[in-house]
Structure 1
Amino acid sequence: MGFEHLDTIYYFVLFFVALFAGFIDSIVGGGGLITLPALIACGIPAHLSLATNKLQSVFGSFTATLTYFKSTTLPHLAYGIFFTALGAAIGSYSVLFVKDEHLKLIILIFLTLTFLYTALRPSLGKHESEAKIKNIKFFHLICGLT
């Protein structure tokens, strides 16, 4: 079961949800926090919802990568691409071993925790700081897993 069971109205709803999420994503990030629940609410299985959401985010990430490419050296970019791809492959493969109903529960828990963390931290994003990541390879691996 995939998208074939959806009525036409769901396609329109998901289209406008995706536009809105893309707009939010371009300003503050986190558009996937909008599209993922919408996909699941339309009755799309969790595995397919995750894959669809990830595919949509690839386009935004690709644009960010091009911008980053202009401001960094090639070795840093190569590490980022390799370890992010490795993490994405591991995450995509491992999620196949989780039952759909368990995956929906996991997604619900993490979306709720993300919402609570964001809502209860009023200072989040109000000050600029320079990112200091000590182990960039591990960071990219974790980014790929998520």
Structure 2
Amino acid sequence: MLEPAHLDLWFYPALTLVAVLTGFIDAVAGGGGLVMMPVLLTTGLPPHVVLGTNKVQSMCGTAMATWRYHRAGLFSFRASAPTAAVVFLGAMAGSLAIQRLSADVLKLVVPVLLIAVALYTVLSPNMSDHDRHGHLSERGYVPVGAGVGFYDGFFGPGAGQFFATTLVGLRGLGLTRATGLTKYLNVTSNLASVIVFTIGGQAMWILGLCMGAGAMTGAWIGSHYATKFGAKVIRPLLVVVSIGLTVRLVWGWFST
């Protein structure tokens, strides 16, 4: 278990409080890494350790959100298990790849995809709570889920948005149902990444679990609001987070 002695103790409660906010954002629209990753990097931890530790806290938050959305009857564990299994394998492959390859190419491509997500969310009449005929079945969606899972393990920012918009656009799910299923797929991909980063000695579990407690608190609040108010809360936050992630990634081009 990796836990560098040089990390000041005050970081633990401070990052736990930040995780409450990121847990809320993740539970409603995804993209909590927009806040958490830059904050974690200020600790001076190596980038791969930041990635691994962030996955620990994210796994905790998405687990809480998944439980809340399932309790609300928004998705079935059994029906979505094949997709979740493929997402798990994709995320594991992505997490192995990021430890050996550079994510520079994705830094160029992802902002374009996130702008597309924001535009689709704003302009498409499908981004509501009404289910409709989908273009893909559960089985047909499996390759898409595997691709987003690989991306989540490899790079991560925007994975929740990509799951949600593809579930709406391709599977025909209403936005709140899509958000619930997104959390199930997210917790699956996070678990795969945590396993890989832990085996590689690149996850700080004590810090990650402290942050995880904050993320679970935020996720409980966020999932409560999302299930209560539905698309009228999820849709605008999805747009804001997608644009925020885009700005953050584009800013990174000029600051490095």
**Two-structure CA RMSD over aligned residues (Å):** 3.7
Aligned pairs for 1:1-146 within 5 A: 3-66=4-67, 67-68=69-70, 70=73, 71-72=75-76, 74=78, 76-98=79-101, 109=107, 113=111, 117=115, 121=119, 123=122, 127-128=127-128, 130=131, 132=134, 134=136, 135-145=140-150, 146=152
Cα deviations by residue, 1:95-123 (Å, 9 ceiling, x for unpaired)? 1213xxx55x678x37x828x738x7482
Q: Structure with the greater relative contact order (CA < 8 A, sep ≥ 6): 1 or 2? A: 2
Distance (whole Å) between structure 1 residues aligned to residue 3 and residue 46 of structure 2: 7
**CA distance 1:15–1:138, change in 2 (3 Å):** same
For 1:15-69, what per-residue CA distance to the aligned partner results, in whole angstroms no more than 9, with x for missing partners? 2211121122233322122111211122111111111122222223334544359
TM-score normalised over the length of structure 1: 0.70
Q: TM-score, normalised by structure 2?
A: 0.44
**C-alpha spacing 1:113/1:53, structure 2 compared with 1 (3 Å):** same
Deviation larger for 86-95 or 55-64: 55-64
Structure 2's unaligned 5+ residue stretches are 153-256
Shift of 1:83: 0.6
Are the equivalent residues in 2 in contact too, given 1:83–1:141 (CA < 8 A)?
yes
8 A Cα contact 1:40 1:49, kept in partner: yes
Contact 1:2–1:44 (Cα < 8 Å) also in 2: no
**Identity of paired residues, percent?**
28
Alpha-carbon distance in 2 for matches of 1:57, 1:133: 30
- Paired residue type of 1:7: D
Contact 2:83–2:145 (CA<8 Å) still a contact in 1? yes
Match of 1:123, as an amino acid? V
Q: 1:64 to 1:27 in 2, by over 3 A?
A: closer
> d(CA) in 1 for partners of 2:123 and 2:32?
17
